[in-house]
């Protein structure tokens, strides 16, 4: 299929319908151990009993159902729930007046219509964030009222042209709005709505007087999501942010891990020589387990790719993390060829769907506890297949 050609609706419709069917009348995924536990208690999986009661593999909607709707919008989050996702992810950045809003980055050039607002033309600037230079518009230069005049749009329109249909439909949500929305959806659907919340660039924001952790903890306490069994995960690529959160709330915590040769930015600033490769050793995982309950590694840390981009032999990360009592929520599964390992691509169109089910089968076979997915219906069906074997 060439880029720009209409994607066959039948497959997406089938995936969505199957995901919704798998989710069931109780709004919990009706399969595997989660179902057995629900039958015993009469409650949906995860309800009031902490993260260990979630179905495994857990499907985490990455920025919502971002394969189908512009990411980090209430429309994307709601669609993810409709498809059956167990958990919905938010990334948090601050406004100038200290509100936490849901954006993947503080640079909103590519995810909003800010460039079309002449009144904000002078706000375009160049900044260094975590050692990388960006030119554009940034949330910390806008009040919440100003941000609310913008509309969200698709981040990668060249790959997901169909998602541009929804450009301009939703505003940037605050995290407090998401918490209220989750409470309302929970009452409507009769189950807890689980969230997976990331602090973005926490050292950078603390350096400009907009620390994230205290603001986040205050909102969690206000909405009763600060306890050990609360339906929320808190995550960050900076271990010091996770450690700071561990002193503020009892919610389950996850350390995100990028490429093996990289260093968390707070390590760079503190002169800590450790890399991610050091953190995924048994000693590094033991250190993480002293203050967190899980890790969120790249999928490449679970199964590396060879020089041709094909999946190789799994590492010992799953076994080693489980030995320290840590759960693993790797990222990110997507359906499009451009994001899949080379051996699971189909055809030559990078925007076309490849064999996402085949790739997920390989990842689930390693024993991971869940996966972040832009296409939660696909991941749910793959998880159902995996549990049935």
Residue spans per domain, the chain = 9-88+171-388
Phi, psi of 206 (to 5 degrees): -65, -35
CA–CA separation, 35 vs 142, rounded Å?
46
Cα angle, residue 38 at apex, residues 35 and 43 outer, rounded to 5°:
140
Identify the CA nearest to 86 among candidates 376, 384, 389.
376
CATH superfamily of 9-88+171-388: Phosphatidylinositol (PI) phosphodiesterase (3.20.20.190)
Any residues with CB less than 8 A from the CB of 306 and at least 6 apart, and which?
A: 312
Per-residue confidence (pLDDT) for residue 8, from 0 to 100: 38
Confidence of residue 275 (pLDDT cuts 50, 70, 90): very high
| Contact (Cβ atoms closer than 8 angstroms) between residue 59 and residue 364 | no
Structure tokens that stand for 183 in this block: 């409470």
DSSP 335: S
Average pLDDT over residues 372-387: 98
Confidence of residue 44 (pLDDT cuts 50, 70, 90): low
Confidence of residue 327 (pLDDT cuts 50, 70, 90): very high
State pLDDT tens for residues 223-240: 999 999 999 999 999 999
% residues pLDDT > 70 (the chain): 88
For 128-148, b where at least 16 C-beta lie within 10 A, e where not — what string?
Answer: ebbeeebebbbbbbbebebbb
User: Where would I find the H helices in 161-212?
Assistant: 175-189, 202-207
| C-alpha neighbours within 13 Å on the C-beta side of residue 225 | 26
Cα angle, residue 64 at apex, residues 63 and 65 outer, rounded to 5°:
120
Per-residue confidence (pLDDT) for residue 49, from 0 to 100: 86
Any residues with CB less than 8 A from the CB of 76 and at least 6 apart, and which?
A: 61, 63, 64, 65, 66, 68, 69, 70
Per-residue confidence (pLDDT) for residue 104, from 0 to 100: 97
State pLDDT tens for residues 83-115: 999 999 999 999 999 999 999 999 999 999 999
| C-alpha neighbours within 13 Å on the C-beta side of residue 248 | 19
Any residues with CB less than 8 A from the CB of 230 and at least 6 apart, and which?
A: 220, 224, 250, 251, 252
Residue 278 has pLDDT above 80, yes or no: yes
Residues linked to residue 94 through DSSP beta bridges, in sequence order: 100
Residues linked to residue 254 through DSSP beta bridges, in sequence order: 235, 294
Cα angle, residue 167 at apex, residues 162 and 173 outer, rounded to 5°:
125
Confidence of residue 381 (pLDDT cuts 50, 70, 90): very high
Residues 264, 268, 274, 275, Cα dihedral to 10°: 40
Reported as type and span, the H/E element at residue 368 is none
Structure tokens that stand for 32 in this block: 């595997």
Burial (CB < 10 A; 0-12, 13-18, 19+), residue 26, is middle
CA–CA separation, 207 vs 224, rounded Å?
29
């Amino acid at each position: 299929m060439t880029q720009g050609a209409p994607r066959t609706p039948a497959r997406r419709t089938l995936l969505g319908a199957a995901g919704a069917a798998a989710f069931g009348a109780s709004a919990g995924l009706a399969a595997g151990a989660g179902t057995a536990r629900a039958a015993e208690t009469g409650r949906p999986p995860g309800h009031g009993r902490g993260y260990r009661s979630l179905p495994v593999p857990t499907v985490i909607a990455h920025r919502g159902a971002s394969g189908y709707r512009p990411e980090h919008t209430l429309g994307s989050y709601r669609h993810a729930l409709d498809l059956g996702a167990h958990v919905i992810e938010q990334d948090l950045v601050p406004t100038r007046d200290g509100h936490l809003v849901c954006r993947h980055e503080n640079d909103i050039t590519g995810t909003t219509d800010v460039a079309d607002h002449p009144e904000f033309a002078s706000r375009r600037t160049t900044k260094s964030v975590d050692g990388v230079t960006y030119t554009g518009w940034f949330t910390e230069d806008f009040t919440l009222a100003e941000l609310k005049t913008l509309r969200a749009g698709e981040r990668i329109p060249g790959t997901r042209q169909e998602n541009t249909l929804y450009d301009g439909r939703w505003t940037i949500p605050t995290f407090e709005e998401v918490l209220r929305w989750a409470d309302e959806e929970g009452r409507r659907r009769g189950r807890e709505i689980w969230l997976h919340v990331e602090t973005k660039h926490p050292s950078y924001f603390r350096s400009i007087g907009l620390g994230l952790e205290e603001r986040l903890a205050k909102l969690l306490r206000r909405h009763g999501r600060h306890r050990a069994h609360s339906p929320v995960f808190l995550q960050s690529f900076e271990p010091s942010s996770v450690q700071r959160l561990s002193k503020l709330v009892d919610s389950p915590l996850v350390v995100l891990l990028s490429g093996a040769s990289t260093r968390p930015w707070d390590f760079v600033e503190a002169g800590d020589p450790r890399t991610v490769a050091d953190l995924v050793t048994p000693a590094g995982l033991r250190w993480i387990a002293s203050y967190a309950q899980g890790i969120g590694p790249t999928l490449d840390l679970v199964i590396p790719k060879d020089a041709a981009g094909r999946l190789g032999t799994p590492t010992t990360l799953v076994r080693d993390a489980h030995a320290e009592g840590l759960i693993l929520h790797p990222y990110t599964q997507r359906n499009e060829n451009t994001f899949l390992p080379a051996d699971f691509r189909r055809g030559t169109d990078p925007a076309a769907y490849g064999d996402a089910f085949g790739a997920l089968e390989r990842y689930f076979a390693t024993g991971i506890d869940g996966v972040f997915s832009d296409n939660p219906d696909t991941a749910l069906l793959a998880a159902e297949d995996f549990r049935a074997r």
